Amino acid sequence: MTKLLTGAEALSARCMRMDRRWQLAFLLFVAAAFAVPALAQQPAAPTSAAPAPLAKPKPKPKPKPPAAAEKPAAEAPKPAPAAAGAQPKLLGQYADWGAYTASPGSKKICFAISKPTSSATDPPNRPRNPIYMFISTRPADKVANEVSIIIGYPFKPGSEASAQIGSTTFALYTQQDGAWIKNAAEEAQMVDAMRAGDAVIVKGESAKGTKTTDKFDLKGISQALDKVAQDCK
């Protein structure tokens, strides 16, 4: 028989689903903000498209009668302003790590972000989109130092990735092109290891079977995290 979830277990499972939805939303937001292109290793969209229609010529203005009083020219419509706080603001750059803040949907987030210093694929030279590692803090959700990665391709469904710091390896669960630490209880340990370490080696496998290895240099991460903590209290 299928085991019935207790009230606490059901709440925990529901919170985990909600958290994963927020994690995916966060990655999508950052991807858009940093102009990450469409996912690599997916079938390319057709390039042949119908040409855009030519703009309709504006009619020439009729000459005003001599007796007509001059009227001030109407102002051109102004473009709608961008959503307030949606664009990330740089708080500081520390070696390979930048500290940023943003407020998508009026919900403040702060995060440290870096790109890998080296990347390799097996088979070699497989195309990928930009790769990022984040450590994010969301005061409204009481979340601090959440580790996530945009890997630059869709992960193999159901596969796990890994992040190695020195002799310690942390398992990552994957969804689409995102990865997060599998055991939430180890997240603080991972962040402490990153502060004390030299590099993180992230390994994963794409939906097409390509294996990847990305190395993130950890120089500057402590200063970036301290700046994030200072701004997102």
pLDDT of residue 145: 94
What CATH number corresponds to the domain at position 210? Answer: 2.60.40.1880
Instruction: For residue 63, tell me if it sits in a domain.
Output: no
Instruction: For residue 207, tell me if it sits in a domain.
Output: yes
208 contacts: CB under 8 Å, gap ≥ 6: 41, 153
Q: Which of the residues in the chain have pLDDT under 70?
A: 1-86
pLDDT of residue 5: 39
Domain carrying residue 173? 12-34+81-231
Please tell me whether residue 14 adopts helix, strand or coil conformation: helix
Residue 32 CA to chain centroid, in angstroms?
8
Structurally, the chain folds into a number of domains equal to: 1
pLDDT > 90 fraction of the chain, expressed in percent and rounded: 55
pLDDT of residue 60: 47
Q: Positive or negative, the Cα torsion across 181, 185, 189, 195?
A: positive
Instruction: For residue 76, tell me if it sits in a domain.
Output: no
Based on its alpha-carbon atoms, the radius of gyration of the chain, rounded to whole angstroms, reads 24
pLDDT of residue 100: 93
Q: Which two tokens stand for residue 181?
A: 């630490």
Q: Are 113 and 96 in contact (CB under 8 A)?
A: no
pLDDT of residue 30: 62
Instruction: For residue 175, tell me if it sits in a domain.
Output: yes
pLDDT of residue 19: 54
